[in-house]
């Protein structure tokens, strides 16, 4: 009897988590469709992070800020991804894209890419 209750509880929790992930996916898609409206897209991307380890919404935020000319927030969003996932090549590429005017950032990105992907790293 206790085993059945435990299995039912685990099943309910798994279904609830899947519902949250589906909600996050829909919010992310909604945010992508509203990138012209900074406030609305930002709101959707931030809400899409609920209970999800995926950093795609944070990357989308960085791209959104960059598109709207907010370099500082774009850098902050990319850096937040790299603090959690220092081996995320996409986040390193975004950091380079936003910070390519800063020689220290460029050196840092090139060093990271050489370390993570030495065969495809830029030669500078």
Residue 24, domain member (yes or no):
yes
Q: State the pLDDT at residue 50.
A: 80
Q: How many domains does the chain have?
A: 1
Instruction: Say if 101 falls within a structural domain.
Output: yes
Q: Label residue 25 exposed, middle or buried (CB < 10 Å: 0-12, 13-18, 19+).
A: middle
Which residues span the domain enclosing 105? 2-116
61 lies in some domain = yes
10 Å Cβ neighbour count for 3?
7
Question: What is the percent of the chain with per-residue pLDDT over 70, rounded to a whole number?
Answer: 97
Question: Which tens digit of pLDDT belongs to each residue from 13-66?
Answer: 999 988 888 887 888 887 878 778 888 988 888 888 887 788 999 999 999 999
Asked if residue 121 belongs to a domain, the reply is no
75-79, 88-92, 117-121, range with the lowest pLDDT: 117-121
Mean pLDDT of the chain: 90
The CATH number assigned to the domain holding 80 equals: 1.25.40.10
Domain assignment of residue 96, yes or no: yes
In terms of pTM, does the model score above 0.85?
Answer: no
Residue 49 sits at φ, ψ, to 5 deg, of: -90, -5
Residue 123 lies in a domain: no
């Amino acid at each position: 009897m206790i085993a059945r209750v435990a299995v039912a509880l685990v099943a309910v929790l798994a279904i609830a988590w899947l519902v949250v992930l589906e909600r996050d996916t829909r919010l992310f898609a909604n945010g992508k469709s509203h990138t012209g409206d900074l406030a609305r897209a930002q709101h959707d991307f931030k809400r899409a992070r609920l209970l999800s380890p995926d950093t795609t919404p944070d990357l989308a935020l960085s791209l959104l800020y960059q598109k709207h000319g907010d370099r500082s927030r774009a850098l902050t969003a990319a850096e937040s991804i790299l603090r959690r996932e220092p081996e995320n090549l996409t986040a390193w590429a975004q950091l380079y894209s936003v910070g390519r005017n800063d020689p220290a950032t460029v050196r840092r990105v090139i060093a990271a890419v050489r370390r993570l992907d030495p065969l495809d790293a830029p030669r500078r």
